[in-house]
Structure 1
Amino acid sequence: MKLSALLDAHAHHVAQGDAETQITAGMTFDVPQVRPGALYIAVPRHEEGGPGGIAEAVARGAVAVLAQDDAPLPAEWAHTVCLVLVADVRAAAAVAASRYHGDPSRAMDVVAITGTNGKTSISYMVESALRIAEGAKVGVIGTSGSRIGGDRIPMPRSVLSTPEAPDLQYLLGHMRDRRTGSVVLEATSMGLLQRRLDHVAVDVGVFTNLTQDHLDDHGTMENYKNAKLSLFEGRCDRAVVNADDPVSAEIQARMPGGVTTYGLDAPADYRATDLVVDAAGSRFTLHHDGRKYPAAIPVPGPFSVANALATLAACHLLGYDLQGLVAALDRMPPTPGRFERYRTPQGACVIVDYAHSPDSLEKVLATIAGFATGRVITVFGCGGDRDITKRAIMGKIAGERSDLCVLTSDNPRGEDPEAILDQIAPGLVATGTHFHREADRRSAIAYALSAARPDDIVLVAGKGSEPHQIVGDRLIPFTDMAVVRELCA
């Protein structure tokens, strides 16, 4: 496809070369992914590229470069390829990528989920509900990677829940070409802020909640909230929002007449009452449009019921039968790394969960307290190069809700793991709960398992189904549940 067609009607300046250049090998922000015939997009401060990667990208075969007009380019352009300048290279990249792949999102129903917690769980629930109730072919894009049903889509290794625009549009095109009817994706705050979802036609946008997280990226809760709310400013046709979260009122103000609500406490279009929670799951009564439906899900906890309500509302808005969707809930497989359970040979229960914020950790531990008959042992840490203000808070929450805590690493990135533990520890000390420090995550899990007695519950929190530890700039293979099973073998 010609570069001029990719950017048609989008303000740009051809600084050198021929805009009729044919782009035949896609586009990328990442220098190592450049192939002959590709468009290289020089995103400022991008780790795998940026303006500093132009020379290598051209050497690898890039036939054109898209850059920001204020980028630090060489004073004299020495390359022979076409150079196009734009005011916002991320916005232009989203336009170009969508056109290159034929605007694929418009060929499918798209559900985009945003909020601090619940995005991955709801994405799995939507996929499961539509597959079980309707036999639908559903694509999933998120924290656990990208897939169509059980078929993984090979992609370069990444830590992004919402892929960059070129990758996202490629995935959507791949799903469309394989006759996928619906796609559910996670819309992170940074994904929205960095315009990765621009030119994705979202049929239903789901808002789960807003609690403290990602202040390292956004600076303030107001900035964080506004990034989330941008999904509901012309980026989706209809919204499904959590009526129990005060932010939902702001979404309703932005989209009058376009919002459907769900909740456990506040009046809502989809509401749950008569909630019963035990170790096997949750039972409740769904209220919608004057009717009642007995419902159950194989996951314990009010937060899981809220996720189920969001799932039902989103799928029902897409036109699927509500009775069939409700019946499908109880047959859903567990979501990897989300309240995922394992019984050890010694009789202890291990729960692996992604809880990595104060709110999510408190909710998981509160749910466990509702059915625990033995002690609660919590293994957790806090991510490096992330919001440091939540560290002592999470220590306090874990200490108040646990009988024993094991402090360990959770993606230390560029920080000293022991320094992170030093910042968590004061919150724990204040509770008087006994705790053990072990920066090596495998050794920490082993310590917790060795300390567990029959009927104890060991919560391994923070990473869920993530397949790696981020240490420095390395991705080291590591999955919590796999390690638990290996240690118990």
Structure 2
Amino acid sequence: MRTWYWDQDSPLGFQHVYGRTHSTITHLTYDSRKINQGGCFICIPGSNNDGHRFIGNAIHRGATTIVGSNDRALQYWHSLYPLLTFVLVRDSKTALAEYASHLHDHTHKKMNLFGVTGTNGKTTITAYLRSLLNQLGEQTGVIGTAGVWSGKQQYSFKSTTPTTPESSDLQNIFASFYEEGTETVAMEATSIAIEQQRLHGLEFKVGIHTNLSSEHLEFHKTMENYKKAKLKLFQQSNIAVVNVDDPGMASDILDMFQGRVWTYGIDHQADVMASQIQTDEKGTSFLLMVQGDSYLVHAPIFGTFNISNALAAVATCLSVGYPVSDILQAIPDLRGADGRFQIVSNYPGKQIILDYAHTPDALELVLEAVHKLPHQRLILMITGIGLRDPAKRPRMAEIAEGKADYIVVSVDHPGPYDRQGIVDDVVAGFRDPTNTTIYKETHREDGIHKALSLAREGDLILITGLGFGGYQVINDQHIPYNELEVIDSYFQKLKQLPLTH
């Protein structure tokens, strides 16, 4: 509980105050449904809803302070509730970030923040960082698509955003981490989060770049806008870790960044490199080169793209002072995130790999990786995403065609869009959409079951798309979804089938 004084000496920026010039704040939120007695409600204007519409609901639930950017709305509610505090700000998003930070005594400034941005690989790199740093004795948590994990446990955090939480939610997480003893955080920094000021006011010890390819154009409209958004992370970072193999934005970072830089790559000269890459059933061995010195290592990871992600994590640890010798001891136990080239080995006779690949370039990389593993036939499931750029849907089929013996096309996060239309968009990318090896399922669960049913012993089933995250967006609802439960339900049904002779 904090008492805030709204006067010229206040550390909080604002334009005008209506009503009481001091208020006692117990909590702060942008969601009126989460307001309790003594809460501060910040009105966020959005593309679908405007938080100013919910001021009445917030007051009814016990809000004593209302912050917003709509002067007329604030004056109207002040006329009805003159004993409450109404604060006019220029930008509600930045106010949300600044006020939430103030409420938690700026805990984030006491922590080591690592921000990862790029089209693909963010979740894997944050998981690798958590794995390495915890082994190196630095309690590290992660925030991103795979959930919220402190150095010790997973948090049951329900995010209103797919990857990077809203600024006030971030501040709550930082405070909880810090209280638990987790003082280092590796977090995904999406382009949309950066543009929407969710990272406003944060200072990153290291900003990490993965790659840049077409994504989120439904939001950014152009690739240039998309790149500019990601580049902003490095204006908030003290050290930059850059993938020199990426033609999308590596040179932009290297040109603009004024601080210390560490580079990594496989195809181009860098501070941290990998060569002589060999895959076996337990993972990948490679020659790790650090500023001219070479070390033979083996990591329990698959795919050249994941070697690149591991190099990013290694370079980051080196950039903050960890010696190569300590990092080498941790690499054999490197752990990634669920759903990122995750091998499901619970079912004898079935080789199942789950991967989050939902963009054409990510799909191409994971297909390249699985083809190096021993198998008879490859059964592949791909998806079209309702809530993402529809132009990418046929590209998924273009990448998949000819790379698998059977292809199942399904749907992720349909939102308000027609499922069959999404499937048809994907299928339009095949040169021969009538090929009998192509199957269409409008529900992800049915698509997975179809892929599993097509497989014989010795086949490999690769299930791609946005299966992890704990939900699917259907219409405007977040419907709980568990990929592993869907897979298990298929095998449970098999057990119940009568034996035939």
TM-score, normalisation: structure 1? 0.94
- Report if the CA contact (8 A) 1:355-1:464 is conserved: no
Provide the residue aligned with 2:438 in structure 1: 435
Provide the residue aligned with 1:192 in structure 2: 194
- Gap change, CA 1:123 and 1:413, over 3 Å in 2: same
Determine if the alignment matches structure 1 residue 312 to structure 2 residue 321.
Answer: no
Q: What is the rounded CA distance, in whole Å, between the counterparts of 2:281 and 2:364 in structure 1?
A: 17
The superposition leaves residues 230-249 of structure 1 with CA deviations (integer Å, 9 ceiling, x where unpaired) of 1012x111110101012111
- Report if the CA contact (8 A) 2:16-2:89 is conserved: no
- Aligned positions of 1:418-429 closer than 5 A: 418-429=420-431
2:22 alignment partner, one of 20, 36, 43? 20
- Gap change, CA 1:369 and 1:112, over 3 Å in 2: same
Could you say what secondary structure the match of 1:408 adopts?
strand
Could you say what secondary structure the match of 1:401 adopts?
coil
The superposition leaves residues 15-60 of structure 1 with CA deviations (integer Å, 9 ceiling, x where unpaired) of 411232121x221111111111111010002767611011101111
Moved more, 308-317 or 465-474: 465-474
Determine if the alignment matches structure 1 residue 460 to structure 2 residue 457.
Answer: no
- Gap change, CA 1:40 and 1:47, over 3 Å in 2: farther
The superposition leaves residues 298-345 of structure 1 with CA deviations (integer Å, 9 ceiling, x where unpaired) of 111111001100101112222222222222122123421100012464
Q: What is the rounded CA distance, in whole Å, between the counterparts of 1:147 and 1:168 in structure 2?
A: 13
2:148 alignment partner, one of 146, 156, 171? 146
Q: Gapped runs of 5+ residues in structure 2?
A: 493-501
Moved more, 276-285 or 299-308: 276-285
- Gap change, CA 1:372 and 1:223, over 3 Å in 2: farther
Could you say what secondary structure the match of 2:226 adopts?
helix
Could you say what secondary structure the match of 1:378 adopts?
strand
Q: What is the rounded CA distance, in whole Å, between the counterparts of 1:455 and 1:72 in structure 2?
A: 65
Provide the residue aligned with 1:328 in structure 2: 330
Determine if the alignment matches structure 1 residue 98 to structure 2 residue 101.
Answer: yes
Provide the residue aligned with 2:403 in structure 1: 401
- Aligned positions of 1:40-79 closer than 5 A: 40-45=41-46, 50-69=51-70, 75=76, 77=78, 78-79=80-81
Provide the residue aligned with 1:170 in structure 2: 172
Determine if the alignment matches structure 1 residue 474 to structure 2 residue 477.
Answer: yes
Residue type of the alignment partner of 1:27? L
The superposition leaves residues 145-191 of structure 1 with CA deviations (integer Å, 9 ceiling, x where unpaired) of 21213422333353431110111011111111222131111111111
In the alignment of these two chains, the number of paired residues is 486
Residue 297 of structure 1 and its aligned partner are, at CA, apart by: 1.7
Provide the residue aligned with 2:496 in structure 1: none
- Report if the CA contact (8 A) 1:446-1:487 is conserved: yes
- Aligned positions of 1:70-469 closer than 5 A: 75=76, 77=78, 78-80=80-82, 81-132=84-135, 134-233=136-235, 235-246=236-247, 247-343=249-345, 345=347, 347-430=349-432, 434-469=437-472
- Report if the CA contact (8 A) 2:360-2:395 is conserved: yes
- Gap change, CA 1:74 and 1:12, over 3 Å in 2: closer
The superposition leaves residues 352-377 of structure 1 with CA deviations (integer Å, 9 ceiling, x where unpaired) of 11111111111101111222432211
Q: What is the rounded CA distance, in whole Å, between the counterparts of 1:75 and 1:181 in structure 2?
A: 43
- Report if the CA contact (8 A) 2:74-2:88 is conserved: no
Residue 73 of structure 1 and its aligned partner are, at CA, apart by: 5.4
Residue 100 of structure 1 and its aligned partner are, at CA, apart by: 1.1
Residue 415 of structure 1 and its aligned partner are, at CA, apart by: 0.7
Q: What is the rounded CA distance, in whole Å, between the counterparts of 1:331 and 1:33 in structure 2?
A: 40
- Report if the CA contact (8 A) 1:396-1:430 is conserved: no
Residue 280 of structure 1 and its aligned partner are, at CA, apart by: 2.7
Q: What is the rounded CA distance, in whole Å, between the counterparts of 2:234 and 2:40 in structure 1?
A: 31
Moved more, 385-394 or 148-157: 148-157
Residue type of the alignment partner of 1:128? S
Residue type of the alignment partner of 1:388? P
Q: What is the rounded CA distance, in whole Å, between the counterparts of 1:294 and 1:432 in structure 2?
A: 48
Residue 5 of structure 1 and its aligned partner are, at CA, apart by: 6.9
- Gap change, CA 1:107 and 1:373, over 3 Å in 2: same
- Gap change, CA 1:42 and 1:257, over 3 Å in 2: closer
- Report if the CA contact (8 A) 1:275-1:283 is conserved: yes
- Gap change, CA 1:48 and 1:141, over 3 Å in 2: farther
Moved more, 346-355 or 189-198: 346-355
Moved more, 311-320 or 357-366: 311-320
- Gap change, CA 1:464 and 1:121, over 3 Å in 2: farther
The sequence identity of aligned pairs, in percent, is: 33
- Report if the CA contact (8 A) 2:18-2:87 is conserved: yes
- Report if the CA contact (8 A) 1:380-1:410 is conserved: no
Moved more, 222-231 or 142-151: 142-151
TM-score, normalisation: structure 2? 0.92
Could you say what secondary structure the match of 2:201 adopts?
coil
